[in-house]
Structure 1
Amino acid sequence: MTEIRHIVFDIGKVLIHYDPNLPFSRLIPDADERKWFFDNVCTHDWNIEQDRGRTWEEAEALLIAEHPDHAENIRNFRRLWHEMVPHAYDDSVQIMEKLIESGHDVTMLTNFAADTLAEARQRFDFLNRPRGVTISGEIGMIKPDRGIYDHHVTAFGLEPAATLFIDDSPKNVDGAKAAGWQSVLFTDAKTLEADLRGLGVRV
């Protein structure tokens, strides 16, 4: 196996917490109603298009036309985004910072709307420490599409076989492997440390 020279972190659910239920448990207290809202109105498929670059204005207008009775909560999805991201995963951040401090080449690759990531980087300064980041919302591609991995390689001068990707989504991990990268599934910081050691990366 090729020695790892580049380490690429996902952001959401790896370095920072993300949960839309946090504000919406207050806005829609009934669990069944809230589940219906996320399954039928502000769905994952709807939200991922903002990660692909669609503006919130366009996204909101589209849904409000279909679900006018839910207009306020549709707008609340972006308006209250900051509540969905309440804290960092300090132990994961510590691993990333140790890797940077010990001289490893660390970048980030994320499915994120450009504006919300800008907000996250203002709130969480450690997101500015890696060498750089590929933001899906800025380039119009999302994981696990092959193109976003190839874009990241080109943008940061990486060798795919010597690149390790860390992501919480099995699909995104598989996408990285299909692009010729090494990749591990993130579950928690302790497991990540063990995975890194197993791959010859000291933390």
Structure 2
Amino acid sequence: MQSPCVVDTVIFDLGNVLIQWNPRHLFTKIFGDDEAAMEHFLSEVCNAEWNEQQDRGRPWKEAIADAVARHPAHESNIRAYFDRWEEMIPGEIEGTVKILEQLRDLNVRLLALTNWSAETFHIAEARFPFLKWFEGIVVSGRERLIQPDPAIFNLIIERYHLRPEATAFIDDSVRNVEAAERAEMRGVHFRGPDELRAQLRAMGFSLPEGS
């Protein structure tokens, strides 16, 4: 019986794995106690599908113009989505960053693959020094490809000459994890740093039991 392949490369998603991201961090300030109005705005005006188009490479100028044309009464809030975008990322997820640091200390090959607008990613790069720990980061908005499209997984495999069966992919999105598994990577659904640590230890990484 052939022994399982040893994992030597770990690919991290960034948003809500290493970096907190949620538009509500911004819009609770704008809408105050009117949670219903905020949720209506985020589901009907600047919703996930609209935002994903920027992650796929649509320019923010075009996105804002489109949303304002459809919802002129919300123009100021639509513009805030981009102008105050940094307020949506209040900080890092400390437990996961610690795991990343420990993997780096073990000389594990580290890459990142993220659905993120090319026009806002520089903000994260300036704020979070640990992004420099990665050998490379594939940003969907720069490539004009977005997860779970198989093409973006093929791109990172080919660009970095990966062996998929020896590569773990970590993401909080089940659909992205399943897409990575279809590309023959080992998918890891992120539900929190403690569970991630246990999952990586089970793969054979010599991480300490605690944080």
Q: TM-score, normalised by structure 2?
A: 0.94
- Partner AA of 1:10 in structure 2: D
Secondary structure in structure 2 of the residue aligned to 1:114:
coil
The 1-side partners of 2:84 and 2:6 are apart by 43
Offset at residue 23 of structure 1 (A): 1.4
**Overall identity of the aligned pairs, in %:** 37
Deviations 1:52-75 (A, max 9, x none): 000100000011111111111001
The 2-side partners of 1:72 and 1:191 are apart by 40
Alignment of structure 1 residues 69-108 onto 2, 5 Å: 69-108=73-112
User: Cα RMSD between the aligned structures?
Assistant: 0.8
User: Which ranges of 4 or more aligned residues in structure 1 deviate by more than 6 Å?
Assistant: none
Give the alignment partner of residue 185 of structure 1, picking from 185, 189, 205. 189
Query: Is there any run of 5+ residues in structure 1 with no aligned partner, and where?
Result: none
Q: Does the 8 Å CA contact 2:170/2:189 hold for their aligned counterparts?
A: yes
Alignment of structure 1 residues 6-45 onto 2, 5 Å: 6-29=9-32, 30-45=34-49
The 1-side partners of 2:115 and 2:132 are apart by 16
In the other structure, the counterpart of 1:161 is 165
Q: Does the 8 Å CA contact 2:54/2:116 hold for their aligned counterparts?
A: yes
Aligned: 1:152 with 2:190: no
Deviations 1:26-52 (A, max 9, x none): 211211111110111001000001000
Aligned: 1:123 with 2:138: no
- Partner AA of 1:21 in structure 2: R
In the other structure, the counterpart of 1:48 is 52
In the other structure, the counterpart of 1:59 is 63
Total equivalences in the alignment: 203
The 2-side partners of 1:36 and 1:108 are apart by 32
Offset at residue 128 of structure 1 (A): 1.3
The 2-side partners of 1:195 and 1:75 are apart by 41
Query: Is there any run of 5+ residues in structure 2 with no aligned partner, and where?
Result: none
Offset at residue 115 of structure 1 (A): 2.2
Offset at residue 14 of structure 1 (A): 0.4
